[in-house]
Structure 1
Amino acid sequence: MSTLANSQFTTVRYVGRFAPSPTGPLHFGSLVCAVGSYLDALAHGGHWLVRMEDLDPPREMPGAADRILRSLEAHGLHWHGPLMWQSKRHDAYAEALAQLSAQSLLYECYCTREEIRQTGGHRRDLCRSTPTGTTATAALRFHCAGASESFDDLWHGPQKQEVCEDPILKRRDGLYAYHLGVVVDDIYQGVNHIVRGADLLDCCGVQRQLFRALGQKPPVYGHLPLVMNDGGQKLSKQNHAAALDDQRASENLVKALGFLGFHCPAQLDRESPQAILGWATARWQRHQVASRNRQLHEH
């Protein structure tokens, strides 16, 4: 049996997911994304899954995965079905690469970063396909440059993306890359609605191409606004965003709902996380979410 498509939710009308990387604890920006994806799924009668994207061990923080899961549970964000760990999915990624290779959509690349910089990007016709030394290891790239993708985003409207570069699917160090893992696992889990942060909007063209190459229809996409810091940067682990205080879960949720366009009643933050999420699920409207990235205090 193929390991690419085997979801227990394949007959469900809406399957969404939240897929954090264990490079640090959740911060307020990631909470907004988790809450938005959770509410959109439940308000549409769907399932909400959690997947730990632990494909890059050198970047992981010890204990971060457990801390992320504890934060989700403290905030009442309980997932349906088993938790998925990408680190246990290597066989599925190898099968996907073999499927792409059989279609002549995968090729070896020995180009250095400097060579790619000098050519202004990477395409198959620019690739140096032979190693300079006997010990060189190739990256594996997906041949899709030159393709065009048009789709409607739930919050950003009509999109047209030109794929300008062939992305790496397996790195020279042997690690599987983000684009491959996310698409293969969305297929396996039956994910048909992807609600995530607007910083990933530009990834859609490549990922939609990869869905089709693996014989699957691309999902519906919705990219939520990003929470920005005082310096105009996205709140992120790289920018040292403060970790969520799980002891203030109700207050955190109400702030996240405010960012997502809710007008929360006074003292809602005194309710339990479950009660707050139930209140919000019953009132979730996509049109209330402004697509503009902004700081928390901006309206």
Structure 2
Amino acid sequence: MSRASRSSCSASSSRRSSPRSAYHRHRRHRNLDQTIDTAEILRTLVALDTTSHRSNLDLIRWMAAYLEGHGAKARLIHSDDGAKANLLATIGPDVAGGVVLSGHTDVVPVVDQDWDSDPFTLVERDGRFQGRGSADMKGFIAACLAAVPRWCRLNLRRPIHLAFSYDEEVGCFGVPRLIADLQARVQSPALAIIGEPTEMRIGLAHRGFYGHRTTFRGRPAHSSDPSSGISAIEPAALLVVELAKVRAHTVHAGQSHHRQCGPYRWRDCDQYRARLLRGAVGIPAAG
């Protein structure tokens, strides 16, 4: 990707042309300068089934075609088997600073779930859009894409980077490649917004995890002299009890049902609204 003072990246092809064709059929009926409705984009994204065990290339190619249609190219970073891809696009100058808007394109399965409608058909009920991935997190991606036409017309002094990954729901397998590509091709951004559903509140931190393997070894003894032996079970049980105490303290999320962050890591979103993401259209979603 050349570093220029305009949007730059590269695109690749998909197994099928239907998403790209669908986008161009849709665009023929709209003015290029018109910001496409967020819900309309979301309807397309939800219809493209990107459950984690499936390929996401149809959706990625649709987004790449959409970005190219508004003058912003998108670079695709494929998985080893070529069945999935991340997308990285930049709008604005090739300078440090700016913001990364990031999300994942895969969704969780719908098997054995009681849906009142087709989970891959967006429907509106009681002021909310319902469909698999509408909240987590295709709604955010749709809002970003809806703002692209306006961003492309602005004389931005700092860039806006769109970074969308695959396989977040099953281990964040796409993110390392996306980060590596971003670091190699993009000058250091000032901040990143990860558009997870948080009821329009800003989480300043996210819990991580740490894995550690502990082995307890005892010493066997004959039943005639048990005091000469050492139990491996008792100290292991004590460790389990202590870990339970740590979990009870650290996993608490206050009054919020969002467990990514504790109650003191949230900030009200009003002071950030509109200034940074001017032109984006947020929508209420569930699913």
Fold shared, TM-score > 0.5 on shorter chain:
no
- Whichever of the two has the greater Rg, that structure is 2
As a proportion of its length, which structure holds more helix?
A: 1
